[in-house]
Structure 1
Amino acid sequence: MSEKQSIIATLQPFIQEAWNKSGFENPTSIQKQAIPLILQGKDVIAESPTGTGKTLSYLLPLLHKIDPNKKSVQAVILAPSQELVMQILGEFQKWSEGSGIRGASFIGGANLKRQLEKLKKNPHVVIGTPGRTFELIKQKKLKMHEVKMVVLDEGDQLLIPEHADTVKNIIKTTLSDRQIALFSATLASKTEEAAKDLANDPEVIRVKKDETIGSSNVEHIYFVSEQRDKIKLLEKAARLKGIKALVFVKDIGNLQVLAEKLHYKELQAEKLHSEMNKIERQKALKNFRTGESNLLLATVVAARGLDIKGITHVIHFDFPKDLNQYVHRSGRTGRFGESGTVISFVTDREERELKKFAKELKIPVHKKVFYKGAITDDHAKKEMKS
């Protein structure tokens, strides 16, 4: 019996059917470890890189456990951003098809009256941002006494000071026999400790690299430049044929300035940051997804958990603060065996740091230059000139 059959065959027929339709072969490392534990009712704290199939690691066993004949909310999934909530809802709808299991999303900034209407339809699964979810609980509109499972997706973001108390308060409204599952791409020790306080004797899973996704077809390259000249490199990158790039920028102020400069040069770039409202964010993502614009400038927080198909390049405009962040950002391209390119724009000092990262990750990283609008090796350009 293959790995696929052994884990997936233990799940409800509608899930097996959806798996077969999805074209997935074997479950990924995180799915192989997490699904059986969640099915056994254990609390789980899991770290696994971006793009390794974390959502299905909790969604499949969660769906398996729901009783569609009951009218009560049986599971709550919390996520730090509106985009991630909507993304999880999309996956939920795909994988619950034909099961009779109802789900609903609740996000801050959305019309409260319309959200109350959703609750009247008795969803079995609630997917929400912490603030809005807790607001509905306090108003006694969302009843938690039959909730058997609480999932914290991108758990390290949910347990930062801004959200931690709200998340703890939500968990306190459930009965003590409920199950907790926390998933994150990066799991700092303080997050792990905070999660252990909320959970009951949890199993900790750490997947550092996922072999099941196949050898990564991602090329890591870099360009050296003064900080103030990085914008010129970004303009050249924006003109590359067929590029669809996620560009990481450190802070919102810098991001706004970059977007304006690119627009001035008539280059299509969308922006994504935490101060934008829901409508602006949705529009930016839609334009990027459909290819109307080929660059999405984002801060790290705004891009958490985003799953956008077909990102060809990840560009570190501002250098990542540590190795973890480099890995996490870079994981947005070359997903599930597709090829991709990670570009770092670095100053001389950052170049040394990048080489250190490459050594630790055991990956080659190559210095490049732009020559006549194309990316080429540094030495090749010199040869052409001579």
Structure 2
Amino acid sequence: MKDQQFWMKLPPFIQENWEKAKFERATSIQEKTIPLLLEGKDLIAESPTGTGKTLAYVLPLLNKINSDEKGMQAIILASSQELVMQILAEIQKWGEGSGIRAASFIGGANVKRQLEKLKKHPHIAICTPGRALELIKQKKLKMHEVKMVVLDEADQLLVAEHIESVKQIVKATLLDRQVVLFSATLTENTENLAKELVKDPEVIRVKKDETIEAAAVDHVYFQEEYRDKLKVIERIARLTDSKVLVFVKDIGNLTILHEKLTYKKLQTSMLHSDLNKMERQKAINSFRKGKTNMLLATDVAARGLDIQKITHVVHYDLASDTTQYIHRSGRTGRFGAKGTVINIVTEREERELKQFLKELSIHLSRKEFYEGKIVDFKPMKKASRRK
């Protein structure tokens, strides 16, 4: 990164933290966006999951903050509690030694406790949209000194549930603020909605990160009757040295799956929107620290979830479209690491899955279990091989 001219514009504390992190160079999205952000340009950026998007905006944002001032100077919006907390952790890590204060404000959390945070005059607020708008309307979150607004995972924010809140939050800031949107997938519709929030934006698209060694991710599938999907999940849970994230569409089915695996003496964590903040945090921490090796999650609950060294992503229920498939699958193979994406499909779902992967130009192979290991599917020997 030091051969980049923009490096010299970043304050010493960031350079020191970069050295401490032992990063050799910036990723493609960072190289393409950081100089533009340092110039103060509005930006709409797309880059795959696991390519360093958070850091791409965090470094210019920290550069923009004057730690001597009391007012709030930046607001970051994210669609889930987990993503808010992850962004806060990144800012605290990279802002170390700067005197810059950051705080999180999320829906469902104790309002009184969050108001206490505001008394400490955070320079950066990381929020879910509903809670941010609520605090703005109460005149508790003051927007008149905000220099930068960031929408992280913008495609999840520019949806019916959040878009009006997002528009009102951006509107509450002064006209000379910088608006930045990052997303793993950027549809034409999302881009058009994004352009309503920005002024003369630069649009950056990184489809594949050349600076990250190509992730050795295998995409495989098991074909089973729906009632037999549980047996495959059991076998996956027993794989040695595995860290498995399983996507289940329905909370009811997810809970039943969790109970059945627990009955089989398999320790799993579960993550869904009906859990309270403490339960969600416990589930994530147990999985992150390796107390459990499998996390069952719904798509909504897993938004923005960043857990290192996930070895397998499992689509227990088929993704609804290619965008969802990319979002889910991107949780493994991060920064060039090896990973496996497993689809458990019925005969009908198999056709749909093959169509998805054809559109994405991804090779797909059918597998089965043999003596506790995943092996290539052999139709003629199926009866004798499956154990």
TM-score class normalised by the smaller sequence: over 0.9
**Structure 2 counterpart of 1:304, one-letter code:** R
Deviation at 1:13, TM superposition (A): 1.3
Match of 1:306 in 2: 305
RMSD: 1.8
- Could you list the per-position Cα deviations for residues 306-344 of structure 1 after superposition, in whole angstroms to 9, with x for gaps in the alignment? 100111100111111122222221111111121111111
1:13 is aligned to: 12
Q: Find the counterpart in structure 2 of residue 372 from structure 1.
A: 371
Deviations along 1:224-243, one digit per CA (max 9) or x if unpaired, are 11122111111111111111
Instruction: State the alpha-carbon separation in 1 of the partners of residues 365 and 380 from structure 2.
Output: 14
How far 1:381 sits from its partner (Å)?
8.5
The number of equivalent residue pairs is 385
Alignment of 1:245 onto 2:244: yes
Q: Distance in 1 between matches of 2:302 and 2:198?
A: 27
Paired position in structure 2 for 1:66: 65
Q: Aligned partner of 1:337: which letter? A: G
* Deviation readout 1:251-277 (Å, 9 max, x if unpaired): 222212211211221211111112211
Please show how residues 133-282 of structure 1 align to structure 2 within 5 Å. Answer: 133-282=132-281
Q: 2:384 and 2:115 mapped to 1: Cα distance?
A: 67
Note the alpha carbon deviations across 1:171-222, whole angstroms, 9 max, x for none: 1111111111011111222221111111112111111121211111112221
Q: Within 1, Cα distance between the matches of 2:361 and 2:155?
A: 26
Q: Bigger CA drift: 60-69 or 217-226?
A: 217-226
Check if 1:29 corresponds to 2:28. yes
The DSSP-based 3-state class of the residue aligned with 2:61 is helix
Describe the superposition over 1:107-136 as per-residue Cα deviations: whole angstroms up to 9, x where unpaired.
122222221121111111111111111121
Distance 2:191 2:250 in 1: 27
Superposition pairs of residues 80-95 of structure 1, within 5 angstroms: 80-95=79-94
The amino acid that maps onto 1:262 is L
Matched to 2:201, the amino acid is P
The two structures have a TM-score, normalised by structure 2, of 0.95
Contiguous gaps of at least 5 residues in structure 1: none
Tell me whether 252-261 or 90-99 shows the greater mean CA deviation.
252-261
Give the distance between the partners of 2:132 and 2:265, measured in 1 at CA. 41
Is the alpha carbon distance of 1:137 and 1:384 closer, same or farther for their aligned partners in structure 2, counting shifts above 3 Å?
closer
CA distance in 1, matches of 2:213, 2:2: 16
Question: 1:4 offset after TM fit, Å?
Answer: 4.8
Change (3 A) 1:297 1:4: farther
User: Partner of 1:330 in structure 2?
Assistant: 329
* Distance in 2 between residues matched to 1:52 and 1:7, nearest whole Å: 19
Q: Quick one: structure 1 residues 321 and 384, their matched pair in 2 at CA, closer, same or farther if it must change by over 3 Å? A: closer
Distance in 2, Cα, partners of 1:95 & 1:147 = 20
**Matched position secondary structure for 1:213:** coil
1:40 Cα deviation after fit: 1.1
- Against the structure 1 CA distance between its residues 4 and 79, is the aligned structure 2 distance closer, same or farther, given a 3 Å change threshold? farther
Tell me how far apart the structure 1 counterparts of residues 272 and 187 of structure 2 sit (CA, whole Å): 23
The CA distance in 1 between the partners of 2:127 and 2:209, in whole Å, is: 28
- In the aligned structure 2, how far is the partner of 1:8 from the partner of 1:315? 39
TM-score scaled by length of structure 1: 0.95
| Partner-residue secondary structure (3-state), 2:9 | coil
Distance in 1 of aligned mates of 2:140 and 2:384: 71
The answer to which of 93-102 and 356-365 deviates more is 356-365
Q: Match of 1:18, as an amino acid?
A: N
Q: Is the 8 A contact 1:4 1:25 kept in 2?
A: no
Q: Percent identity?
A: 65
DSSP-derived class of the 1:345 partner = strand
Measure, in 1, the Cα distance between the counterparts of 2:190 and 2:291.
38
Q: Which amino acid aligns with 1:157?
A: Q
Distance 1:98 1:323 in 2: 42
Cα gap change, 1:346/1:380 in structure 2, threshold over 3 Å: closer, same or farther?
A: closer
- For the residue of structure 1 that corresponds to 2:161, the secondary structure is helix
Separation in structure 2 between the aligned mates of residue 133 and residue 354 of structure 1, nearest angstrom: 39
Q: Which runs of 4+ in 1 moved over 6 A?
A: none
Residue pairs, 1:113-128, within 5 angstroms = 113-128=112-127
Change (3 A) 1:303 1:381: farther
SS at match of 1:198: coil
User: In the alignment, what sits opposite 1:99?
Assistant: 98
Q: In 2, distance between residues paired with 1:186 and 1:288?
A: 26
Greater displacement, 376-385 / 282-291: 376-385
Stretch moving more, 5-14 or 252-261: 5-14
Instruction: Give the SS at the match of 2:162.
Output: helix
Code of the residue aligned with 1:343 in structure 2: it is I
